[in-house]
């Protein structure tokens, strides 16, 4: 269904609308243009504070229902390769921990991103950089991101995996093509983590169908971002949807 996909021109239009709202909300998105062309991508940097736990982290028998009070990390999909036991960052949103250690054994799910029980550790601030590009092969947006410690060290794939909420992790592991992998950024040529786009059409279809049925307009990029962003710690404030803004109709032929 061709209305389910997002061509380059519509991608740019959706980005422009998102940018307008972002400016009003002070959400920090900017447009980076490829020199001398209309091509480009959305970019945002954000700081996340995490708890650093220097005890060995990687428990390859771990699973989503692991009852250990420590943060457990899955054996990630085979494609990540060899087992490694190493001390590293355990990424937990420090600002989402509510007074005390939560026991995962209770089966209580915390709605906030990445909350796991941790032993005491010091808090560290990480810098995340998110890019939204357009994939012409899949006609969808694609999310690229990278993260650094304050002393400029890049996070490893294992550390990034540990920052993904256990619920998302299980889902991602079962469909390897939705997984997070290290890829070359198509415009910058540097290593970035990427959330694979080939299943995007699947989850966007019901959203777009519902909007069409109800004669509502939808910003493809914004809706898509609200689904994939939280998986990698990117918050999309509700105000994007509730604030008044110019209509973003996909079938509109108005030019900017």
Give the whole-angstrom CA distance, residue 135 versus residue 143.
10
Q: Which residue of 191, 205, 211, 249 would you call a contact of another protein, by CB under 8 A?
A: 191
Q: Which is nearer to another protein, 83 or 213 (CB)?
A: 83
Q: Which of residues 21-40 bind another protein (CB under 8 A)?
A: 34-35
Listed residue (159, 86, 70) closest to 119, CA to CA: 70
Q: Which two tokens stand for residue 246?
A: 């110019």
* CB 186 to another protein: min, Å: 7
What 8-state DSSP symbol labels residue 169?
H
What 8-state DSSP symbol labels residue 55?
S
Q: Which of residues 137-176 bind another protein (CB under 8 A)?
A: 137-138, 154, 156-157, 176
Could you tell me if 162 and 73 are in contact, meaning their C-beta atoms sit under 8 angstroms apart? yes
Q: Which is nearer to another protein, 24 or 175 (CB)?
A: 175
Residues 6+ apart with CB under 8 A from 184: 190, 191, 192
The three-point CA angle 33-38-39 to 5° equals 60
**186 sits near another protein (criterion: CB under 8 A):** yes
Could you tell me if 44 and 225 are in contact, meaning their C-beta atoms sit under 8 angstroms apart? no
C-alpha 179, offset from chain centre: 11
Q: Where are the beta strands (DSSP E) in the chain?
A: 30-33, 40-52, 122-135, 140-148, 180-184, 191-195
**134 sits near another protein (criterion: CB under 8 A):** no
* CB 189 to another protein: min, Å: 4
Number of residues lying near another protein (CB under 8 A): 28
Q: Which is nearer to another protein, 19 or 157 (CB)?
A: 157
Q: Which is nearer to another protein, 139 or 226 (CB)?
A: 139
Q: Which is nearer to another protein, 116 or 208 (CB)?
A: 208
Residues 6+ apart with CB under 8 A from 168: 230, 231
Q: Which of residues 57-86 bind another protein (CB under 8 A)?
A: 78-82
* CB 185 to another protein: min, Å: 8
**4 sits near another protein (criterion: CB under 8 A):** no
Asked about 198 being catalytic, the answer comes back as: yes
Which region among 45-53, 102-110, 187-195, 244-252 touches another protein (by CB under 8 A)? 187-195
Helix, coil or strand: residue 117: coil
Q: Which residue of 33, 64, 101, 136 would you call a contact of another protein, by CB under 8 A?
A: 136
Q: Which two tokens stand for residue 76?
A: 């990630």
Q: Which is nearer to another protein, 127 or 249 (CB)?
A: 127
Binding site for another protein (CB under 8 A): 34-35, 78-82, 136-138, 154, 156-157, 176-177, 181-191, 196, 198
List residues with catalytic annotation: 198
């Amino acid at each position: 269904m061709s209305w389910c996909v997002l061509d380059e021109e519509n991608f740019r239009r959706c980005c422009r609308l998102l940018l307008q709202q972002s400016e009003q909300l002070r959400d920090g998105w900017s447009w980076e243009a490829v020199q001398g062309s209309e091509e480009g991508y959305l970019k945002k940097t954000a700081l996340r504070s995490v708890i650093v736990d220097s005890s060995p982290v990687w428990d390859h028998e771990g699973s989503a229902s692991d009852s250990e009070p420590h943060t457990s990390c899955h054996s990630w999909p085979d494609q990540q390769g060899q087992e490694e036991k190493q001390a590293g960052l355990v990424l937990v949103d420090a600002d989402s921990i509510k007074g005390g250690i939560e026991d995962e054994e209770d089966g209580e799910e915390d709605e906030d991103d990445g909350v796991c029980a941790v032993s005491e550790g010091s808090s560290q601030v990480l810098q995340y950089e998110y890019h939204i590009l357009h994939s012409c092969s899949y006609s969808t947006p694609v999310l690229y991101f990278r993260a650094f410690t304050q002393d400029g060290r890049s996070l490893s794939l294992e550390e990034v995996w540990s920052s993904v909420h256990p619920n998302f992790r299980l889902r991602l592991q079962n469909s390897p093509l939705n997984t997070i992998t290290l890829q070359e950024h198509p415009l910058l040529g540097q290593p970035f983590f990427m959330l694979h786009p080939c299943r995007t059409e699947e989850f966007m279809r019901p959203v777009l169908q519902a909007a069409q049925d109800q004669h509502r307009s939808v910003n493809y990029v914004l809706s898509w971002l609200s689904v994939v962003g939280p998986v990698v710690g990117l918050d999309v404030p509700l105000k994007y949807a509730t604030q008044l803004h110019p209509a973003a109709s996909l079938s509109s032929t108005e030019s900017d």
